[in-house]
Amino acid sequence: MSATISPPPSQEPGRFGGGGLGRSALGLPFDFVMLVAVIGICACSLVTLKTVEVPGYPAGFFMWRQAVYFGFGAVIALVLSRVDYSRLRELKWGLYVLMLAGLLAVMAFGSVTRGSRRAIQLPFFSFQASELGKILIVVVLSAFIVDRARRLSERDTTARTMLLALVPAALVMLQPDLGSALVYIAIVMTVLFVAGIPGRQFAGLGALGTIAIVFVLVAAPAAGVEVLHDYQKERLTAFLNPTSDPSDAGYQQNQSRIAIGSGEKIGRGEAATQTRDNFLPENHTDFAFAALGERYGFVGAAILLSFYSLLIWRTLLALTLAKNLFGAIVAGGILAMLLFQVFVNVGMNVGIMPITGIPLPLMSYGGSSVITTFVAIGLLLSIHAQGRAATAGKGRVLGFT
């Protein structure tokens, strides 16, 4: 009896046709739905940045620079989408050292802006190591947990994972950058959840977190040790009653709410005075969502949030399709990074969250944030593509570089 060997399913024509998938030149599926979400968010960013006015900068300055960041980031994402993400496991300690070195370099050589030392000024943009660290910590923690996959139920695994995340988070806090430090915490908690650590350990982490909050806000100040700066305390408490100090601590949040509220259903268009006349500060970075809401109203804000919902959905899909535990945990960490930043940034724009300086992914102006997000998108595309190929090929994945 003779047998014929059919080609791998990943090479069969039309194998990956449905569900928003296309064919790449290497025979791997490509998630065009995620691509639509990313392009939509980028378009919203460029349209908004074209209309905002920032003192000292010509019209369109931030839009054109953001477009350059988008182009550079898109190339990185495309390359990463065709690379086997599993290879990053072997680089975990090198990436961890790189992350810590970057954070220490910012503390040593970074420029001081408004009392914070968060970035190193380069010829074309400001490099924020804390932004790049968000995706690096996802990869490092995922690799570390997979290496200890048979010991996930042990407290030692949870403790070491938390320590790996808390060290860079502490360095970020010293800049000081409370918002980015909180993103690191959200990432490590989600990574542990996706990995499946026991519930009792989560309860223990919750108790320790409560003790830490009490120490920072109550015990340390009573002992004369100020962990948080005065302006950080004001920002954390101003959102509870922004009208109590409308000219200082509550100013940004009040102006943001006025901008969004005045946009009503379809926006004010050219009559958007809050952003045009600079009543709303940081309307190209932290409060880009408010600038969009004032100019394009509920419709514009709903379109942007719809694109984010689409991106989150495809991230969840990549998590469920991952061919191995490492890919699932990486996708979970990226999900935490994106979802936490969107929730906190939009929340502080509408007045339900404190102002922490967290950017809105791909919407807020900033080279470091944009590049980091595109790196995350590239990894998600790689996880999704290989997961689809492995499912269709019953475990057989194309070898590629």
Instruction: In whole angstroms, give the CA distance from residue 272 to residue 97.
Output: 46
Q: Which of 9-13, 72-76, 182-186, 348-352 has the lowest mean pLDDT?
A: 9-13
Look at residue 238 in the predicted model and tell me its pLDDT. 66
- 352 versus 105: the higher-pLDDT residue is 105
Residue 384 domain-assigned (yes or no): yes
Look at residue 227 in the predicted model and tell me its pLDDT. 63
pLDDT band at 10; cut points 50, 70, 90:
very low
CA terminus-to-terminus distance, the chain:
38
Residue 8 domain-assigned (yes or no): no
Query: Percent of the chain, pLDDT > 70?
Result: 82
Residue 222 domain-assigned (yes or no): yes
**In this model, does residue 189 exceed pLDDT 90?**
yes
Mean pLDDT for 341-367 is 91
What digits encode the pLDDT tens for the residues 209-252? 888 777 766 666 666 666 666 666 666 666 666 666 655 667 78
Interior angle at CA 12, CA 11 and CA 16, nearest 5? 90
What digits encode the pLDDT tens for the residues 24-57? 435 678 889 999 999 999 999 999 999 888 888 8
Look at residue 271 in the predicted model and tell me its pLDDT. 73
Look at residue 203 in the predicted model and tell me its pLDDT. 86
Residue 52 domain-assigned (yes or no): yes
* CB-based contact 334:138 (threshold 8 Å): yes
**In this model, does residue 191 exceed pLDDT 50?**
yes
**In this model, does residue 156 exceed pLDDT 80?**
yes
Instruction: In whole angstroms, give the CA distance from residue 23 to residue 32.
Output: 10
Mean pLDDT for 186-190 is 96
Look at residue 202 in the predicted model and tell me its pLDDT. 83
**In this model, does residue 73 exceed pLDDT 60?**
yes
**In this model, does residue 320 exceed pLDDT 70?**
yes
**In this model, does residue 5 exceed pLDDT 80?**
no
What is the sign, positive or negative, of the torsion defined by CA atoms of 175, 380, 338, 364? positive
Residue 87 domain-assigned (yes or no): yes
Mean pLDDT for 246-259 is 76
Look at residue 30 in the predicted model and tell me its pLDDT. 85
Look at residue 259 in the predicted model and tell me its pLDDT. 87
Residue 176, preceding peptide bond in cis (omega within 30° of 0): yes
- 101 versus 212: the higher-pLDDT residue is 101
Look at residue 53 in the predicted model and tell me its pLDDT. 80
Residue 48 domain-assigned (yes or no): yes
Query: Percent of the chain, pLDDT > 90?
Result: 51
Q: How many domains does the chain contain in total? A: 1
pTM over 0.75: yes
State how far the alpha carbon of 226 is from the alpha carbons of 149, 175, 215, 284, in Å: 39, 15, 10, 31
Residue 12 domain-assigned (yes or no): no
Query: What range does the domain containing 44 cover?
Result: 17-391
Mean pLDDT for 301-323 is 96
Out of 71-80, 112-121, 346-355, the most confident range is: 71-80
Q: Which of 130-144, 221-235, 251-265, 293-307 has the lowest mean pLDDT?
A: 221-235
State how far the alpha carbon of 363 is from the alpha carbons of 46, 50, 290, in Å: 8, 12, 11
Place of tokens 């926006």: 267
Burial 211-249 (b: 16+ CB within 10 A, else e): eeeeeeeeeeeeeeeeebeebbbbbbbbbeebeeeeeeb
- 173 versus 330: the higher-pLDDT residue is 330
Residue 1 domain-assigned (yes or no): no
Distance of CA 257 to the CA centre of its chain: 24
Mean pLDDT for 173-196 is 91
Look at residue 245 in the predicted model and tell me its pLDDT. 61
Look at residue 233 in the predicted model and tell me its pLDDT. 65
